[in-house]
Amino acid sequence: MRSPHDIIRRVTLTEKGTRLQEQGNQYLFEVYPSANKIEIKHAIEELFKVKVDNVNTLNRIGKPKRDRRSRMGRTAAQKRAIVTLKQGDTIELT
């Protein structure tokens, strides 16, 4: 089993992530592409000492970009996890 730091990259602080925290006790994390939902759940529970109720994942494909010499490339792809915590549990993000 991999360590939690090999699964979770960072907490994603965006407008959508903030709205999820306020409305439904959900948090948005950027995770490594090879991580699955079970590994993400165990990593969050171990790192933050909370109980996870549900994990949803989404893959964000990199956008095509053009450089100064008109060569095409892509921005980096990302995998994100929306983690729902049990009632009464919160994660302090500072």
Can you give the pLDDT of all 94 residues of the chain as single tens digits?
789 999 999 999 999 999 999 888 999 999 999 999 999 999 999 999 999 999 999 999 999 999 989 999 999 999 999 999 999 999 988 6
Q: Which domains does the chain have, with CATH numbers?
A: 4-62+76-85 (3.30.70.330)
pLDDT at 92: 87
pLDDT at 93: 80
pLDDT at 1: 72
Q: How far apart are the C-alpha atoms of 54 and 37, rounded to whole Å?
A: 9
Please provide the DSSP assignment of 27-57 as one string: EEEEE-TT--HHHHHHHHHHHH---EEEEEE
3-state SS, residue 5? helix
Q: How far apart are the C-alpha atoms of 41 and 54, rounded to whole Å?
A: 8
Residue type, 74: R
